Amino acid sequence: MSTQPTPSSSPVPTPTVSTRMPLLTRRQLWTLITLTLVWGINWPIMKFGVTGFPPLTFRSLSMLIGLPVFGLALVLMKVPFRIPRAHWRELLVLAVSNMFVWHILVILAIPMLSSGRAAILGYTMPIFSAICGVLWFNAPLRARQWLGVFAAAVGVLLLLWNELTHFAGQPVGVLMILVAAAVWAYGTQRLRHTPMEVPTLTIAFWMTFLTTLLMTGLAIAFEQERWQIPAPNTQWAILYNALGVFAFAQAAWLTLARGLPPVASTLSVMFIPVLGVFSGAWWLGEVLHWQDWSAVVLMVVAIASVLWPEKAP
pLDDT classification of 3: cutoffs 50, 70, 90? very low
Q: How far apart are CA 47 and CA 107, in angstroms?
A: 9
pLDDT classification of 33: cutoffs 50, 70, 90? confident
pLDDT classification of 85: cutoffs 50, 70, 90? very high
Closest C-alpha to 101, from 38, 45, 216, 178: 178
Closest C-alpha to 130, from 12, 269, 312: 269
Show Cβ contacts of residue 60 under 8 Å, excluding neighbours closer than 6 positions.
212, 215, 216, 218, 219
Least confident span in 4-13, 84-93, 282-291, 298-307: 4-13
Secondary structure (3-state) at 4 = coil
So what's the pLDDT on residue 8? 38
pLDDT classification of 256: cutoffs 50, 70, 90? confident
Least confident span in 170-184, 205-219, 273-287: 273-287
Is the pLDDT at 47 greater than 80? The verdict is yes
Q: How far apart are CA 232 and CA 132, in angstroms?
A: 41
Mean local confidence (pLDDT), 129-137: 72
Show Cβ contacts of residue 213 under 8 Å, excluding neighbours closer than 6 positions.
none
Least confident span in 81-85, 149-153, 167-171, 239-243: 167-171
So what's the pLDDT on residue 24? 65
So what's the pLDDT on residue 14? 40
More confidently predicted of 117 and 97? 97
Closest C-alpha to 116, from 292, 242, 294, 290: 292
Show Cβ contacts of residue 181 under 8 Å, excluding neighbours closer than 6 positions.
102, 121, 122, 123, 124, 125, 128
What pLDDT digit, counting tens, does each position of 168-194 carry? 556 777 788 889 988 998 998 888 888
Share the mean pLDDT of the chain.
Answer: 79
Q: How far apart are CA 143 and CA 145, in angstroms?
A: 5
pLDDT classification of 2: cutoffs 50, 70, 90? very low
Percent of the chain with pLDDT over 70: 72
Indicate the domain borders of the chain. 34-307
Mean local confidence (pLDDT), 79-102: 95
CA distances from 133 to 84, 139, 247, 298 (A): 27, 5, 28, 22
Least confident span in 11-20, 142-151, 276-285: 11-20
Query: In degrees to the nearest 10, what's the CA dihedral of 124, 46, 98, 88?
Result: 180
What pLDDT digit, counting tens, does each position of 289-310 carry? 677 667 667 766 666 665 555 5
Question: What count of other Cβ atoms lies within 10 Å of the Cβ of residue 2?
Answer: 10
Is the pLDDT at 23 greater than 60? The verdict is no
More confidently predicted of 66 and 310? 66
What pLDDT digit, counting tens, does each position of 215-234 carry? 999 999 999 999 999 999 89
Q: How far apart are CA 127 and CA 229, in angstroms?
A: 39
Q: Are 32 and 272 in contact (CB under 8 A)?
A: no
